[in-house]
Amino acid sequence: MTTSINADLHCHSVVSDGTLTPEQLAARAHANGVQLWALTDHDEIGGQHRAMAAAHAQGMDYLTGTEISVTFAGTTVHIVGLGFDADDAQLAQGLADTRGGREERAREIGDQLARVGIHGAFEGALRYAGNPELISRTHFARFLVEAGVCHDTSEVFRKYLIEGKPGYVPHRWASLGDAVRWIREAGGMAVIAHPARYGFTANEEYALFSEFKQHGGQGVEVVTGSHTPAEYATYAALAQEFDLAASRGSDFHSPNESHTDLGVLPNLPGQLTPVWDLLAGRVLHAPRPSGTA
């Protein structure tokens, strides 16, 4: 395989904070020309068997996926896992523990929003959560748009849900070392998600990449819906500096909210090693039509 295949290795379904089912996502990915797909729900692998079956029904190859929430240097960092055994007990337990604090956090977000006059937000957000164990800020954002408090979800984040705003509740997620270890020991590859999003200084970013490598991390997202073209170049250089494989993924959540659709981003820069080259043995191949090799 090469950098030129259409791989989309980052998106979300109703099993976390997306609005489409795994089957709807697979159909959309295939319609957009995706050849190798991964569903990467936040802190969840409950959709993996459905996603793989749906990918194969569409004739797409599949890599198992997840996106683990990690606290690093006081900031939430996301680590994508790819190509692991979806039935691995340690990974399942680690993800269950990571999800564990979400309901309590969501109740606190609801309480804080009530103090600024927005009532019923916890119950409202819960109605949007396809998975009650995975109530996310995204579900609050959708409820606040429905309630007419804001015009769109990014306005809700800007005004209410980020640090320093009235509905922000700090939370401690998994450690970087644990997240990488759960993924690796389940046979998969750990990948730093959308590194440009964290707002790190050069020193903090260097620490993230160095510690990630020390823990056994092997990849970084270079071409993602969260990066600008200038950032593709920045992180292509960093991937080479740290000898990391490169990944590509839209981070698609919803037809109404996401500005990047499945499968439409540019290819990875040709000098990089794509993660799917290192994961060739972990790809779950679509059944070939009978009569062909």
Which residues of this protein are in contact with ligand AMP, per CB under 6 A? 17, 42, 69, 136-138, 153-154, 157, 253
Tell me whether residue 56 or residue 171 sits nearer to Mn ion (CB atom).
Answer: 171
Q: Which of 17, 61, 88, 178 binds Mn ion (CB under 5 A)?
A: 17
| 178: partner contacted, choices ligand AMP, Mn ion, none (Cβ within 5-8 A by kind) | none
Closest CA to 86 of 219, 183, 9, 7: 183
Q: Rule CB under 5 A: say whether 78 interacts with Mn ion.
A: yes
Span near Mn ion by CB under 5 A; candidates 21-29, 59-67, 120-128, 263-271: 59-67
Distance CA 120, CA 168 (A): 16
| 69: partner contacted, choices ligand AMP, Mn ion, none (Cβ within 5-8 A by kind) | ligand AMP
Q: Rule CB under 5 A: say whether 41 interacts with Mn ion.
A: no
| 153: partner contacted, choices ligand AMP, Mn ion, none (Cβ within 5-8 A by kind) | ligand AMP
Tell me whether residue 185 or residue 261 sits nearer to ligand AMP (CB atom).
Answer: 261
Neighbours of 59 (CB within 10 A): 12
Token pair in block for residue 52: 């793989």
Least gap, CB of 59 to ligand AMP (angstroms)? 29
- Exposure string of 80-116, with b = 16+ CB inside 10 Å and e = fewer, is bbbbbebebeebbebbeebbeebbebbebbbebbeee
Q: Name the packing angle between helices 176-185 and 89-100 (round to 10°).
A: 150
Distance CA 183, CA 199 (A): 25
Span near Mn ion by CB under 5 A; candidates 84-92, 95-103, 202-210, 245-253: 245-253
Residues 6+ apart with CB under 8 A from 102: 43, 133, 134, 135, 136
Which positions touch Mn ion (CB under 5 A)? 17, 67, 78, 193, 251
